[in-house]
Amino acid sequence: MEKKLIEIIKEAGEILKEGYFSNKDVSFKAKKDLVTKYDVGIENFLKEKFLKEFQDFNVIAEESDNSNIEFNNSIIVDPIDGTTNFVNKLPHTCISVGVYKNKEPYIGIVYNPILDELYTAKVGNGAFLNGEKIEVSAEDDFQKALISTGFPYTSGTCEVDLNDVIKKIKVILPKCQDIRRLGSAALDLCYVAKGMYEGYYEMNLKAWDVSAGIIILKEAGGKITNLDGNKYVLFENKYIVASNTKIHNALIENLN
């Protein structure tokens, strides 16, 4: 299944690449939440291929109506993660596909066709970037940790969420090496997986933002929890906290 998935996702990557260098029809789903004809086009392409190739799975995808689709044997798709980057030609944008069997992680694939980075992981087999094994960093000193985060689209409409973002940055920033906000949750998780960041946290993410990245990070030796330090549950938790494992407790402590 993994090989076929990669083949299909690479084909979809060509559509993303074409769109990245062309004019996009941008519309707004919400005050800050963009969508383009390429989000929809890539999603339709992937859905059609996946449903034909993998008939034991349903597909849950960002731009679709998922209300009648039960999460179980599911392929969870974000056709473009980092749409704002895609629109602004900032090369941190990707296709994210997470495969779950009986709700359990199975295969994660994140593909950035602009930088030609393909992150893959199958549970029990480790994580890879373009076929080379990747691992989380060994840094255990929080003061030396590079932390990544993201800002929720609700920061434009919900003062409670905005205040929470600022409050957490105020605590974390002086205590760590620095903070990055690159604009793709799927890639953020992969960057922790390859040891570029020590940790990452964000609120209000959707299952398709993280379905693949959490499998890749886990397989690279990372840890993913909710804000309490307990198991992160897809579709349920407000916060995701991810790390190289070593700084996890310090990150959780500082966030609370």
- Give me the residues that bind Ca ion (CB under 5 A), please: 62, 78, 80-81, 209
Residue 213 in the binding site for ligand IPD (CB under 6 A)? no
Least separation in angstroms between residue 237's CB and ligand IPD is 14
Q: Report the C-alpha gap between 155 and 164 in whole angstroms.
A: 9
Q: Which has the closest alpha carbon to 202: 247, 150, 148?
A: 150
Residue 184 in the binding site for ligand IPD (CB under 6 A)? yes
Least separation in angstroms between residue 188's CB and ligand IPD is 7
Least separation in angstroms between residue 143's CB and ligand IPD is 25
The one among 97, 185, 193, 220 contacting ligand IPD by CB under 6 A: 185
Q: Report the C-alpha gap between 134 and 217 in whole angstroms.
A: 9
- How many CA atoms, within 13 angstroms, populate the side-chain half-sphere of residue 212? 36
The one among 152, 199, 221, 222 contacting ligand IPD by CB under 6 A: 152
Which tokens hold the place of 88?
Answer: 């602004």
Closer Cβ to Ca ion, 81 or 198, answer by number: 81
Question: What b/e readout covers 213-239, taking b as 16+ CB neighbours within 10 angstroms?
Answer: bbbbbbbbbbbbbbbebeebebeebeb
Q: Which has the closest alpha carbon to 185: 163, 146, 214, 228?
A: 214
Residue 108 in the binding site for ligand IPD (CB under 6 A)? no
Closer Cβ to Ca ion, 61 or 145, answer by number: 61
Residue 199 in the binding site for ligand IPD (CB under 6 A)? no
The one among 13, 41, 82, 98 contacting ligand IPD by CB under 6 A: 82
Contacts with ligand IPD, residue ranges (CB under 6 A): 78, 81-83, 150-153, 183-185, 202, 205, 209
